[in-house]
Amino acid sequence: MASRKSGLTLLAPVDAPDEIPALARAGATAVYGGVQPAGWPGRALSATQRTFPSAHLQDEDALAGAIRAARQHGLAFHLVLNAPVYPPGRVGDLVSLAARAAAWGATGVIAADLELLRALDRAGTGLAVTLSTLGAFLNREAVGLYRAYGLSTVVLPRHLTVSETASLVAAHPDLAFEAFVLVGRCPNDEALCTFQHTAPDKRWPCELWYRLTAPGGEELAPDHPFVRWHRSWEAADRRLACGLCAVKALKGAGVRGFKVVGRGGPTRAKVDNVRLVAGFLGGEHGPGDGPAAYRARFGRPCHPLTCYYPELFPAQQDAEKPHPWGA
């Protein structure tokens, strides 16, 4: 199981203070969550890159309660303020919120917007700063640029391979790195995607069929690689992504934080996901146990499109889910 003694962190999503005891028992060593500040303009403009209310703590009283509960259970609490950009004049409100969270006992803040990172650095809140994957950094030089804003931790982009991760970690040995390891893989580059995730039924644009056109406006042919790629996602469920097979390799590459996605999801699912990842971090399961553990947890076989590290995808693919690109 992950622990501070082992030097590993297992981060769990939280949307209410009463979720924290169960997450701690399941093996989480840190939690992360956010809140829409009072008076925030409009539902479509989220302070935390989540637009539906269930993905936020209810209000600042709930935020203070969650921070308090985390401390009582020995967990770090990280405030999420990770939208890639904010409306003019709003960064000051977010810095004030971060300062209040620090006063209540929060450990850190997760951010991506350059103006906010600069303001947090100047404000001296005492919070450890984590660069969100929404910072859109693509290489070691970009990480170096962000370092000027007092980072302590970097969340790795979802599309990196294990070897690319190892190279990035090696280039910045004094930074801590976190990797996503269970659920919620986007088919697009999340940091650069401009889709609006505001549907009341929580059905995201990348799950819908839409027309793909060439620069001149003509629709792409059915066998065009972009069309084939988009249609291939019909056979996968992006909500059930997994990187369990890569946990050992990521640890070997120097990754020290392992992140479970799920803000806005059911508490039971969060707890079960954390417990599963904790088993892989603690050595109860090895890389070869990933496919069976995935099937047991989600009731379906692995799929290459929802594999965070497809270079490690099992050679013997389940006949129920052939590779989407075919022969």
For 131-157, the pLDDT digits (tens) are: 999 888 878 899 998 998 999 999 998
Measuring CA to CA, which residue among 187, 191, 190, 203 is closest to residue 324? Answer: 187
Q: Is residue 194 part of a domain?
A: no
Gap between the Cα atoms of 107 and 98, Å rounded: 10
Please state, in angstroms and rounded to a whole number, the distance separating the CA atoms of residues 48 and 7. 27
Residue 215 lies in a domain: no
pLDDT at 72 over 90: yes
Q: Is residue 199 part of a domain?
A: no
Q: Give the domain extent around 58.
A: 9-189+238-312
For the cut 90, the answer to whether the pLDDT of residue 198 exceeds it is no
Residue 59 corresponds to which tokens in the numbers above? 């209000």
Place of tokens 């969650």: 66
Q: Is 17 a member of any domain?
A: yes
Range with the poorest average pLDDT among 22-36, 40-54, 98-112, 137-151: 40-54
Domain-embedded: residue 207: no
In the predicted model, is pLDDT for residue 3 greater than 50?
no
Our count of domains for the chain comes to: 1
Reported as a single tens digit per residue, the pLDDT across 20-33 is 999 999 999 999 99
Q: Which comes out higher in pLDDT, residue 78 or 88?
A: 78
What is the per-residue pLDDT for 176?
97
Q: What is residue 318's predicted lDDT score, i.e. its pLDDT? A: 45
CATH number where 283 lies? 3.20.20.70
Predicted pLDDT at 81: 96
Structure tokens at 208: 């819908």
- The CA radius of gyration of the chain, in Å to the nearest whole number, is 20
**In a domain? residue 91:** yes
- 12 with 76: CB under 8 angstroms? no
Q: Which helix or strand (DSSP H or E) is residue 177 part of? A: strand 176-182
pLDDT band at 42 (very low <50, low <70, confident <90, very high): low
CA distance 274 to 289: 16
Whether 163 is covered by a domain: the verdict is: yes
Which tens digits make up the pLDDT trace of 260-297?
A: 999 999 999 999 999 999 999 998 998 889 999 999 99
pTM: 0.89
Contact status, residue 156 vs residue 163, Cβ threshold 8 Å: no
